[in-house]
Every structure is written in C-alpha cells, then in structure tokens.
Amino acid sequence: MDALTVVTNPTVEVRLTSTLNSFEVFKRFNRGISIAEFKGKLEMIIGTPMSCMDLELFSADDQFLIKLDDQEALLGSYPVDDDCRIHVIDRSGAQTGDLSDLSKVEKYTISDDAYEKIPDSARSFMKKQHVGQFDEEKKAKKESALAAREAQEEAAANAITVGSRCQVQVPEQPTKIGTVMYVGLTAFKPGHWVGVKYDEPLGKHDGSVNGQRYFECENKYGAFVKPKNITVGDFPEEEYGLDEM
C-alpha cells in the first residue's frame, strides 16, 4: 500500500481587527514567517508600531484561542486557520479613529512656483499635450466668443434710454410692462444690465441690490434684466379700473 502524503497549505487567510478602528481586513499570509515578521507586515496595514503591538488569536466563530506573544515562533506554529481573526491591541496611546480621521492628518502643501518646476507633474503633462486650460486654440476661441457676446450686449444696452417705456420678455416668465430706470454696469454681477420699474408689483426689490441703490421705486416693483430681454416702444401704462366694481 502506498504511503499517504499530507500537504499543508503554506498560506492562511485571516481577518484582521484592531483597537484603532471598527472594520475588518482580510489578508493572506505565509505560515512560515515569524511573529516578529508578521508584526512588521501588520504595522504597514494597521498603523500600530511593532513595539506597541499585542496580538490575540480568535477562532472563525470569534472564540478567543491564544496570544501570539512568542516573537521567534512561526505564525504556522499557532492554531491559525482560514477565517480566524487576529486582533491587534495598540499600546501606543492612539485613540479609535485616529488613523482614519482625515481632519487630523497634516496636509501637504506646495507653492505654485515650486509646483511649476516639477517636470513630471499633471500640469506639466497637460501643458505638453495642450489639453484643458492649456489648449490655447480652444481658449482663444472661448475668449473671442465671450468678447463678441459682451460687445453685442453693450451695443444693445447703448440703444436703450433711461425713461423709455419697455416690454420685458424673460424666458419662462410672463411678459411685463414698465419703465427703464437704469442702464449700465452693476456691482452684483458682471456685464450690462437694465433696471426696470414695472407697472405692477412683479419685481424683486425697490431699485437697490445688496445695499447699493441704482434707482428709486416702490418695493417689489424693481428688477434688473439683460438688454436682450428688453423691447423699447410705445407701451402705455394700463388702466386697471380700480374705480369700477
């Protein structure tokens, strides 16, 4: 009868937990490494220094088995099987969550000038490939289109006179009638704007925005709209027949 040969799996997959966090990590290790070598690997995974680390072995159903305290013993000399749990006790004084709380991590910063000198940075790559903000052709087209829109908006604004009657048509809003009270630049948003006093309380303010006054009107009668939404013409104020029943 031939002799039977028993082959033991040279590696084992265990669950790792620690006093520094509340989650488990699954890792596979060689049974032939010493406990000291094992601790060195755990230091990279858990974050606890080897000198401040105690290890406890639990079964697959989380029953405590033994402490792994012999630094020279092999991991495989202990009853470590797949799905066992090895618990790392941190004696460094660190608190739970210290290693996962990003608010406690010192952020690395670099000046713009220093970053500009790094030859293999993302910025350097983008410059060489002319992509993103370094696509000069695309950037020039966008700047040209913006300048054209601004020029068109300014021309439309210059054609509108303060005191003119007007009709305001903003997409997805009802048509409104009013009087032009202001034309020009503002502090609240870039570009040219037209201040209008509506005939009805369909506005947003009294002619002032963010504490700066541009014209006078009753509250909720004033609004600012873009020149393209303004049509100047003979738009008489409607009589609402307030003296009729």
CATH number of the domain within which 206 lies: 2.30.30.190
Q: What percent of the chain has a predicted confidence (pLDDT) above 70?
A: 88
Residue that is last in its domain, among 59, 90, 121: 90
Last residue of a domain, one of 53, 71, 90: 90
Structural domains of the chain, count: 2
pLDDT single digits (tens) 3-23: 554 446 899 999 999 988 888
**Residue 151 belongs to a domain:** no
Tell me which residue range forms the domain holding 215.
165-232
Give the mean model confidence (pLDDT) for residues 161-182.
95
- Inside any domain, residue 110: no
- Do the strands 85-90 and 11-18 form a parallel or antiparallel pair, or are they unpaired? parallel
Does the residue 4 lie in any domain? no
3-state SS record for the chain: CCCCCCCCCCEEEEEEEECCCCCCEEEEEECCCEHHHHHHHHHHHHCCCHHHEEEEEECCCCCEEEECCCCCCEHHHCCCCCCCEEEEEECCCCCCCCCCCHHHCCCCCCCHHHHHCCCCCHHHHHHHHCCHHHCHHHHHHHHHHHHHHHHHHHHHHHCCCCCCEEEECCCCCCCEEEEEEEEEECCCCCCEEEEEEECCCCCCECCEECCEECCCCCCCCEEEECHHHEEECCCCCCCCCCCCC
Residue 131 — very low, low, confident or very high, per pLDDT cuts 50/70/90? confident
Residues 207-240: tens digit of each pLDDT: 999 999 999 999 999 999 999 999 999 998 866 5
Residue that terminates a domain, selected from 37, 64, 90:
90
Q: Average pLDDT of 145-157?
A: 92
* Pair of tokens at residue 29: 């290790």
